[in-house]
Structure 1
Amino acid sequence: MKKLLASYGRDEEFHAVAEQIITEEEKKNNRVLARSLRKSLSNGPSRRSRPKALAPLLPFPEAAADFIERIEPVHGKQDIILSFENIRIFLGLMKEFDRADEIRRHGLPVRSKLLFCGPPGCGKTLCAEIFAAELGLPLYVVKLDQLISSYLGETAANVRKIFEFARTQPCVLFFDEFDALARTRDESGEHHELRRVVNSLLIFIDRMRPKGFLIAATNLDQTLDSAIWRRFDEVVWFDKPDSRMIQRFVAMKFKNLSIDFDPKAHLSDLEGYAYAELDRICLQATKSSIIAKRKRVSEGDFVDAIADERRRRRRTSRMNEPV
């Protein structure tokens, strides 16, 4: 309760502490109280924080122009569901960033190099976008198809240009599918050029002291070179959502729609799905109601959308089976 009162006025912290209290009541089997508290929390006024002013942009260097792309954020913190653990991590990172100068004056490092790991569709890219927006920093995404050159020696040189840019520009530099660059050097089939790239990458990350953040994301953390891990100040895991997070996500997707069923009755059917799959289910159910010219999304629409996603998963899993 003390933590709840102390966090009043700071939306993310307040919501995280309130959710912890509700979860504790559920564990004590005080389900009526927990349900009432959750309803009060969800019906409370939503106060969207004002976006911070963006950091001043330096002239865009021609050397890096072919390899990075500026992305304008279109999502806010109300569009993502994170675990309590990840909420705590990101709040800590934001506080560190706000007081970075003070921390450095004490001779201490500021966490600025992050590795996002987890299955596809669990919010890594979306989180990078929202994180940049909340910090008021421009988001630059590395274009791996341009970066990885077919000419020997050029890929490492291209990587150097990107890191030089991030060293001078306060920004969030985002490497998606990072495993394409940082694959383990132990694989016997790998070309010497890839090993050279990984060696260069290790040096660049080690020496880099970004004015913003370097974020790398991967779905295949088991393929990363073992030396990569210690180069990052923080590793954030994005797991598939649990039942509580699924419930919140589905409620968010149907927030502005009329539905004639209780999504909680279908939670067991949604377990094990990533956010991208849940999003597809909700969108398909909504489109079905529109096509049928109904004002409410029916339970049949939702059940059919779940069946379609189950069919898709079953067929794609067969395609990924080893021959």
Structure 2
Amino acid sequence: MARGELMKKLLASYGKDEEFRAVAEQIIGEEEKKNNRVLARSLRRSLDAAPSRPTKPKALAPLIPFPEAAADFIELVEPTHNKQDIILSSENIRIFLDLLREFRRADDVRRRGLPVRSKLLFCGPPGCGKTLCAEIFAAELGMPLYIVKLDRLISSYLGETATNVRKLFEFARKQPTVLFFDEFDALARAREDGGEHNELRRVVNSLLIFIDRIEPKGFLVAATNLDQSLDPAIWRRFDEVIWFDPPETRMIARFLAMKFKNVALAFDPQAHIGELSGYSYAELDRICVQAIKASVIDKRKQVREQDFLHAIADERRRRRRADRMTA
């Protein structure tokens, strides 16, 4: 937007705290894009130091420093896994390695006036590694992982959900962290969906503005199992979209080898790979764990083929039931 138009909007929004800050953020963003970093930092400090004016009940809340502002809506997750615990496609491995290298050279990239990718969208069916990948990615970056608690974030009171989202984005802008939105479609559902009420449409509008203007200190990561339900305008707001598909045959083989690497076996699980096609990692994990538990319960030193086959049968039964419920 032309600078003159932004200045007009800034003056017109005087006295309306939220609108004023939104336009000021746009001006700062324009200066950053022009590589006027000194001016942008100075404007940012002035904006952050400015006192907030009282707002009307439906307006977004004034900025409140973390943890008071966002503590009710996020949970710190201590990493318990590392990169040896996940199986990714070769394409996704390349993408994440590139993201890590880009982040580590972020200052060099920005000095050339180029943007650093920091907003990621994970898409794919349940149980295919999106949440686990976010945890491991944060560990590789050396950053804390905060998971957004959507049940608390989405408020039944008019205007509060957008206020809560704003607090989270302000936290992400200031704190070097990986902020993870699971089940992102609950927030970013398509606005033309006839079943959605006006409040959620307003939340999506606010969300689009927040994602557009934020430059997080770390990474903003959103994950969804229902990418077809996302508002069409959401997609271009993310720097990278990463797809997590059910594992292929070779990935299933690697996963089985990983799960049974410290377990004594009386059979070769690789012989049953064909029976596991189409299963997610979460389903495969349940099968392996159940087979191992059967040997522990029976006080046997080895996992038998029958243990594995029974576990597969149980997972098939579970799948059939779940399919009926969702049909």
TM-score scaled by structure 1? 0.81
Q: CA deviation at 1:69?
A: 1.1
Taking the aligned partners of 2:209 and 2:86, their CA distance within structure 1 comes to: 34
Equivalent residue, structure 1, for 2:272: 266
How big is the alpha-carbon RMSD for the aligned residues of Structure 1 and Structure 2?
0.7
Is the aligned partner of 1:176 residue 2:182?
yes
Taking the aligned partners of 2:234 and 2:312, their CA distance within structure 1 comes to: 39
Q: CA deviation at 1:189?
A: 2.1
Equivalent residue, structure 2, for 1:6: none
Q: Secondary structure at the match of 2:117?
A: coil
Is the aligned partner of 1:221 residue 2:227?
yes
Taking the aligned partners of 1:292 and 1:209, their CA distance within structure 2 comes to: 55
Equivalent residue, structure 1, for 2:108: 102
1:37-74 CA-partner distances (Å, limit 9, x unpaired): xxxxxxxxxxxxxxxxxxxxxx8420111111111101
1:128-147 pair list within 5 angstroms:
128-147=134-153
Q: CA deviation at 1:251?
A: 0.7
Taking the aligned partners of 1:83 and 1:270, their CA distance within structure 2 comes to: 17
Equivalent residue, structure 1, for 2:52: none
Q: For 2:316, which of 310, 314, 319 is the aligned residue?
A: 310
Taking the aligned partners of 1:156 and 1:236, their CA distance within structure 2 comes to: 26
1:1-323 pair list within 5 angstroms:
60-321=66-327
Taking the aligned partners of 2:269 and 2:304, their CA distance within structure 1 comes to: 11
Taking the aligned partners of 2:224 and 2:195, their CA distance within structure 1 comes to: 21
1:64-112 CA-partner distances (Å, limit 9, x unpaired): 1111111110100000000000000000000000000000000000000
Q: Secondary structure at the match of 2:288?
A: helix
- Bigger radius of gyration, 1 or 2? 2
Taking the aligned partners of 1:313 and 1:233, their CA distance within structure 2 comes to: 35
* Letter matched to residue 187 of structure 2: L
* Letter matched to residue 196 of structure 1: R
1:164-196 CA-partner distances (Å, limit 9, x unpaired): 001000000000000000000011221000000
In the alignment, structure 2 segments of 5+ residues that lack a partner are 1-64
1:234-283 CA-partner distances (Å, limit 9, x unpaired): 00000000000000001100010000111111011000000000000000
Q: CA deviation at 1:295?
A: 0.1
In the alignment, structure 1 segments of 5+ residues that lack a partner are 1-58
1:112-144 CA-partner distances (Å, limit 9, x unpaired): 000000000000000000000000011111110
TM-score scaled by structure 2? 0.80
Equivalent residue, structure 2, for 1:45: none
Identity of aligned residues (%): 78
Question: How many residues are treated as equivalent by the alignment?
Answer: 263
